[in-house]
Structure 1
């Protein structure tokens, strides 16, 4: 059994598709199929079943998947530990974060860290709340910024590093655009521009509207803060965005108004796998972040 076979097997199991696995592995589809076939012959079992255009693990394939992932994870950790033992300053930090933090927060903290650790490399992975948790549990990232902070989890632990206020954003010609602050209920008759389902900011805004006594009427949905801001500035509706997402300016700019009642906030957490020691270089970055945000671990 070759290590390459395990890599190919795990990737096909994750993608449930040979072609997609081959594209991500940057190898020919035939090479992946051949290695999977050889692995099945060596084990004497069928690891996958064809269902439509996708491949699904057999029961014995699911059992083998757990072991294969553990082996590859341990191998990656061993290689990383050796590299960090030689020189921790040459290590790599794998970090996940939601799209809304990619404009300002992530670049700011990484730039600050690299002032004293210029040779440390970073591998970034953006995603929505469920995928960030999944990537962390699967050890595809070492640390993840996440919002909202998961209060209870079987697999991850961490700290709230920031609580951020959300403000209303309005088209420049909106009747309330000149107000310094408003109650959210004053927007009950407006059309809202919200994040698509699956993005953590959507339920925060939705729940705030319900608390204010109305159900928001959704006119448009988007997946980026720039998209939400641009649609509002173009007069397509109103929305709420974190203050951090409003620091960036563009030619098409909405009006930002403070929401007095209810106050709408989101928590931003820094999470890691529970009961598992971080790699040395990630430990250094974790300590730096807690100091950066003045958080007690």
Structure 2
């Protein structure tokens, strides 16, 4: 069994198509087919079955795919550790984060870190709360910013790096747009623009509204802070967003007002696998981040 066979097998499993896998691997389709055939002969099982124009993993193929995926990721980490041992300042950091941190925070901290380690590479992955947890556990990312901080979890560990206030955002012509502060209950009759299910800000806003004595009426849902902010600015409803998501990125902007009853906040944490050893360069980045947020 050769490493190349496993790499080709995993790519075909991901693409569910030999031609598309070959194109991404930059090899001939016949080479991929031949390697898959040899692998199946060596194992004595069929790893794929035809489903229309695509290929689908057989049950034993699914089992084998999980092991191969884990094996190749571990191999990648081992190679990275060797490179980092030879030159700790030229490694790659794989980091996950929710969309709400991507506009300002992530570019800021990466730019500052690269002033000290200019040759370090970054691989970024945005995701929802459950997908970020999954990416950390699977080894897809080394570190992940996550909100809210997961608290007690045997599989991931980390630190709360900041607590952030959420503001009410309103159309510019809203009667409350000129206020300095409002009580959340003042929005009980409004239509809300909320994040879709799976996004961590949704339950934070929902629970805050319930605490204020009402259930929010949902007019629209979205998956990005720019979408939420834009819909509110266009008069489609009101919402709550963390301060970090309110940096202006386009001319159409909603009004933002501080909420005092109840004060609405979210915790942002930096997590990694409890049983996983971080690569040297990721450990350096984590130390940098903890210091960065302590002095802010």
The structure-2 alpha-carbon separation of the partners of 1:24 and 1:216, relative to structure 1 and needing over 3 Å to count, comes to farther
Hey, what's the Cα distance between the residues in 2 that align with 1:5 and 1:249?
Answer: 46
Partner of 1:64: 64
Partner of 2:227: 227
CA RMSD of aligned residues (A): 2.3
Q: CA deviation at 1:63?
A: 3.7
Matches within 5 A, 1:1-297: 1-14=1-14, 25=25, 31-50=31-50, 57-294=57-294
The structure-2 alpha-carbon separation of the partners of 1:213 and 1:8, relative to structure 1 and needing over 3 Å to count, comes to farther
Q: CA deviation at 1:123?
A: 1.1
Q: CA deviation at 1:71?
A: 2.4
Secondary structure in 2 matching 1:220: strand
Cα deviation digits, residues 185-235 of structure 1 (max 9, x gap): 111111111112221111211121122121111111222111111111111
TM-score where L is the length of structure 2: 0.90
The structure-2 alpha-carbon separation of the partners of 1:26 and 1:139, relative to structure 1 and needing over 3 Å to count, comes to farther
Hey, what's the Cα distance between the residues in 2 that align with 1:8 and 1:170?
Answer: 52
Q: CA deviation at 1:64?
A: 2.4
Q: CA deviation at 1:121?
A: 1.0
Hey, what's the Cα distance between the residues in 2 that align with 1:136 and 1:19?
Answer: 31
Hey, what's the Cα distance between the residues in 2 that align with 1:20 and 1:163?
Answer: 45
Secondary structure in 2 matching 1:162: strand
List runs of 5+ in structure 1 lacking aligned partners: none
List runs of 5+ in structure 2 lacking aligned partners: none
The structure-2 alpha-carbon separation of the partners of 1:249 and 1:149, relative to structure 1 and needing over 3 Å to count, comes to same
The structure-2 alpha-carbon separation of the partners of 1:274 and 1:15, relative to structure 1 and needing over 3 Å to count, comes to farther
The structure-2 alpha-carbon separation of the partners of 1:204 and 1:52, relative to structure 1 and needing over 3 Å to count, comes to farther
Q: CA deviation at 1:113?
A: 0.7
Q: CA deviation at 1:18?
A: 5.3
